[in-house]
Amino acid sequence: MDFGLSEEQQLLEQTLRGFLAEHVPIERVRELRDADCPNDRSIWSALAELGFAGVLVPEAQNGSGLTLLDAALVAQALGHSATPSPFLASGIMAPMALATAGGTAADAWLEGIGSGDLVMGVAVTELFSVREGAGVQQRGGQLHGRAMMAVDACNANLLLVAIDSETFAVVKTDAAGLEITRLNTVDATRCTSEAVFEGVRPEAVFDGAGDAIRRMLEAGRIALAADALGACEAMIEQSVAYAKERKQFGRLIGSFQAVKHMCSEMIAELEPARSLLWYSAHSFDAMPEETPLLACHVLAHVSEIAREIASVSTQVHGGIGWTDEQNLHFWFKRIANARHLLGGPEHLRDQAAKLQGFAPAA
Amino acid sequence: MDLEFDARYDDFRSEVREFLSKHKPPKSLGVAEEEASGRITWLSLLIEHGYWARTIPEAYGGYGAPPDLLETVIMDEEFNRVGVARGFNAQGPSMLVPTLLTHGSEEQRKRWISPTMRGEIIWCQGYSEPGSGSDLASLQTSGTEDGDDFLLNGQKIWTSTADKAQMCFILVRTEPDAKKHEGISYVLLPMDTPGIEVQRLETMSGSIGENSFNQVFLTDVRVPRANVVGKRGEGWKIANTTLKHERSSLNANAEGTLLRLAKLMQKETIGGVPAMASPMYRDRLMKLQARALTMKHHGMRMLTCNLKGEPAGVAGLIVKLQNCQLSFDMAALAIDVMGELGALYDHTKYERERGYWQALSMFSLGLIIGGGTAQIQKNIIAEHGLGLPREPKPAKV
């Protein structure tokens, strides 16, 4: 009976953050921005060896079978270190969809995903936002159409593609008729791409999978909020450290109230958001009836405070914060990209209102 | 994270429900003299059942139960559900009692805690002075040694409920030669002592709203030296433990206010259409709901820290800052939803909810300033929470 992290969770967080600080320092992130895809498989293999690829994979498929709160702590650590990895798609969303949908094919993929041998991207944007007339349809057992802003797809083995709110398919990324093209965003630490389907034969189609799709989106949104919150933590830490060493007018800038108040306002937004994140992630396993609303609210809220924290942290650094050399922009851009990746704040708040009967359902 | 309610808690919940179905609180639970008998009976009944003063030791008139987060949550949920206050939100129970538990002598604890929790004694807080607001430690009210007593002289301001209180916990300068922070003592002062004059201080919210603010003038007020809490000259340190309680305990019940706001938006119509149908107002409501949710769960996190005796660190310092602003922002949306009728006040025709939202707006603004302004809170968060350096002292002119 306790509102907080367990000793095991604190240990998990420490272990992972320690590992990332050593093996994925920001200089490594900088190197990866010039790669074709930032999702370097050697980093992912190392994370998989530590058991982080299979956090949400059930024990029956040799995964760790942990809770979403554990997984959120992993996402937060990855955001904190701005680590490029396919964790959002392959560690959170795909396993949640497959484990909920079930079946022999799903079980086999889950085992591969948990070991890190298989990486599965997800293409789900059209579930909540259709741009450029995108969308993927099934015709005669083949997939046609286009999915925008697919996550972690270009260095993956498999791609999960949503067809509608009840149906998803899994395809091989090297299947005939499938073209995956990287779409460069401001964020060099996350892989996004376009997937064009011209008569692609899927490995499997999951019908009547409404619950699987809903749970996948909820888990993804909570994990993405955790990732952004971790990025905010990193930016605040750097701002406070800089304010304690930078001198102007013969004083440490951190002794100026204007700078102090910027830092206080950032931490005053971060800490309550952390509490909501813990509760939302915990609800996913313990009180799933509460999760649909919480997942919308936590991501919308974190997206709002994260934009402000990203801006203010940069301002605390002054001109140097705006340079490429200072590295702060890796987190700024990771936050910027996360904002609309699984539904923007306006969309999520509209969903939250609908869930409570405050707005007419679509 | 463990928020499971096991069978034991089901029993506890039905126990609380049964209590609430059998017992009704007095009509009002305020600090006024005419409310005293109803208040004392009700609080004593709550203590007897362990719903108030639950974790205060029996020796000091409490119920003496070990701290338990879920029991606290259940009691709050059940009392909130029937709209009954669980205890008595006044400065004695919320500020003085925690201070005495930490710093008081055995005799002081035995004498004051029980009647304070039972609502027999109403306390006011004598901290601010006309010349010492944000810079509280510069306070000048003096306590001059005179035999076994101190003679108090000076003026206090923002002393809420001073007109109704029997006792005051007051900060006075007893060591005029010591450094600013080291010359202050924390003293328990009976309000019927000769030489005390209380003057009402009108605030911007006028007739609506129940808080009465006052100025207190002290002229040769005699108080025994034995009434000092802790050591002489350590009053600043002691007052800060109390202020810390104020900072992390200012629970605005944001969730309740948000529900009330949502109801208003469903009821209030503009051109015959409910305000809730407007995407603009609705989006603002959803933003506020997310903030209310953060503070609700943050409150659970802080409660866990309190009950386990673990320091909450910077996460505890931000509570007052965030809750007061949230409360102000919720009132602002309600007023906007009522539009041109939102400014109606003083029980005028067409006024909604007897002026509740305008009163809440102004009262929240008072809370943003009181107990350390938002800007002082931000200094404290930065210096004590984040370790940023203090502002250098200006050179003496």
The tens digit of pLDDT for each residue in A88-130 reads: 999 999 999 999 999 999 999 999 999 999 999 999 999 999 9
Show the domains of chain B with their CATH numbers: 7-88 (no CATH), 123-233 (2.40.110.10), 250-385 (1.20.140.10)
Residue A25 belongs to a domain: yes
Q: Which of B35, B167, B132 is nearest to B88 (CA)?
A: B35
Burial of A34 (0-12, 13-18, 19+ CB in 10 A): exposed
Tell me which amino acid residue A339 is: R
Domain assignment of residue A153, given as a range? 121-209
pLDDT at B271: 94
Query: What's the mean pLDDT when you consider all of chain A?
Result: 97
Closest CB from A268, A300, A352 relative to B318: A268
Looking at the domain assignment, is residue A189 inside a domain? yes
**A87 and A130 share a domain?**
no
Residue B392 in contact with partner chain A when CB distance is under 8 A = yes
Q: Residue A356 pLDDT more than 70?
A: yes
Query: Among A69, A102, A119, which residue terminates a domain?
Result: A119
Render pLDDT for A3-28 as a digit per residue (tens, 0 to 9).
Answer: 999 999 999 999 999 999 999 999 99
CB of A300 within 8 Å of a chain B CB? The answer is yes
pLDDT value for B102: 92
CA distance B39 to B29: 6
Q: Which of A91, A89, A86, A90 is nearest to A71 (CA)?
A: A91
Q: What is the pLDDT of residue B1?
A: 86
Q: Any idea what the Cα angle at residue A146 is, between residues A145 and A148, rounded to 5°?
A: 160
Burial (CB count <10 Å: 0-12, 13-18, 19+), residue A182: middle
- Tens digit of pLDDT for each residue in A55-96? 999 999 999 999 999 999 999 999 999 999 999 999 999 999
Of A119, A141, A176, the last residue of a domain is A119
Looking at the domain assignment, is residue A362 inside a domain? no
10 Å Cβ neighbour count for B210? 13
Same domain, yes or no, for A221 and A295?
yes
User: How do A142-151 and A192-200 pair as beta strands?
Assistant: antiparallel
The answer to whether residues B143 and B187 touch, using CB atoms and an 8 Å cutoff, is yes
pLDDT per position as a tens digit, A35-59: 999 999 999 999 999 999 999 999 9
Domain annotation covers residue A268: yes
User: Does the residue A284 lie in any domain?
Assistant: yes
- Domain shared by A24 and A37, yes or no: yes
Quick check: B266 and B338 in contact, CB under 8 A?
no
Please identify every stretch of chain B with a pLDDT value under 50, giving residue numbers as ranges.
none
Q: Taking each helix axis as running N to C, give the angle between helix A257-286 and helix A291-317, from 0 to 180 degrees, rounded to the nearest 10.
A: 160
A 10 A CB-CB count for A100 gives 18
Confidence of residue A164 (pLDDT cuts 50, 70, 90): very high
- A246 vs B: CB within 8 A: no
Residue range A242-294, pLDDT digits in tens = 999 999 999 999 999 999 999 999 999 999 999 999 999 999 999 999 999 99
Q: Which long-range contacts (CB under 8 A, 24 or more apart) does A319-324 make?
A: none
A355 contacts chain B (CB < 8 A)? no
Q: Work out how many domains chain A is built from and give that number.
A: 3
Domain assignment of residue A361, yes or no: no
Q: Are residues A30 and A42 both part of a single domain?
A: yes
What pLDDT, on the 0 to 100 scale, is given for residue B255?
A: 84
A5: nearest CA in chain B?
A: B1
Of A95, A119, A143, which residue is a domain's last?
Answer: A119
- Same domain membership, residue A137 and residue A50: no
Check: CB of residue A75 under 8 Å from CB of residue A25. no
Residue B350: which H helix or E strand, with range? none
Place of tokens 């006028």: B206
Q: List alpha helices for B82-186, DSSP H.
A: 91, 97-103, 106-117
Sequence-distant (6+) residues with CB within 8 A of B100 are B108, B109, B112, B113, B229
Residue A2 within a domain: no
| pLDDT tens-digit readout, A315-348 | 999 999 999 999 999 999 999 999 999 999 999 9
Beta carbons of A301 and B318 less than 8 Å apart: no
Q: A272 and A199 share a domain?
A: no
Q: Indicate the DSSP class of residue B63.
A: -
Q: Minimal Cα–Cα distance from B385 to chain A, Å?
A: 9
Measured between alpha carbons, how far is A357 from B366 in angstroms, rounded to an integer? 34
Q: How far is A4 from chain B (nearest CA, A)?
A: 5
Q: Is the pLDDT of residue A362 over 70?
A: no
Do A104 and A126 share a domain, yes or no?
A: no
Residue B353 backbone class (left: φ over 0; alpha: ψ -120 to 50; beta: rest): left
Which residue carries 């059998």 as its tokens? B22
B290 vs A contacts (CB less than 8 Å): 276, 297-298, 300-301, 349, 352
- The vertex-A311 CA angle with A308 and A317, nearest 5°, equals 135
Q: Which of A219, A227, A231, A225 is nearest to A124 (CA)?
A: A219
What would the DSSP string read from start to end of A210-221? HHHHHHHHHHHH
Report angle CA B210, B295, A233 to the nearest 5 degrees. Answer: 140
Which of A260, A263, A309 has the most B C-beta neighbours within 10 Å, making it the best mutation to test the interface with B? Answer: A260
List strand residue ranges (DSSP E) for chain B, in order: 123-126, 142-146, 149-157, 167-173, 184-190, 196-201, 213-224, 228-229, 269-270, 273-274
Residue A267, domain CATH? 1.20.140.10
B100 contacts B91 by C-beta, under 8 angstroms = no
User: How high is the pLDDT of residue B249?
Assistant: 52
Per the structure block, which two tokens stand in for B332? 């602002």
What's the pLDDT at B207?
67
- Distance of alpha carbon B289 from alpha carbon B254, whole angstroms: 9
Are A118 and A109 a contacting pair, CB within 8 Å? yes
A162 & A192 share domain: yes
CB contact under 8 A, A240 and B2: no
Q: How many CB atoms lie within 10 A of CB B282?
A: 21
Contacts of A361 in chain B (CB under 8 A): none
Q: Is B322 on the interface with A (CB under 8 A)?
A: yes
CB contact under 8 Å between A4 and B301, yes or no, is: yes
DSSP codes of every residue in B253-280: -HHHHHHHHHHHHHH-EETTEEGGG-HH
Whether residue A360 lies inside any domain: the answer is: no
Helix (H) or strand (E) holding B307: helix B279-308
CA angle A128–A130–A135, rounded 5-degree value: 105
Check whether residue A230 and residue A302 sit in a common domain: yes
Do A216 and A342 lie in one domain? The reply is yes
Q: Quickly count helices (H) and strands (E) in chain B.
A: 13, 10
Considering only CB atoms, B388 lies closest to which of A9, A260, A279, namely A260
On whether both A222 and A264 belong to a single domain, the answer is yes
pLDDT for residue B309: 81
Residues A110 and A231 placed together within one structural domain of the fold = no
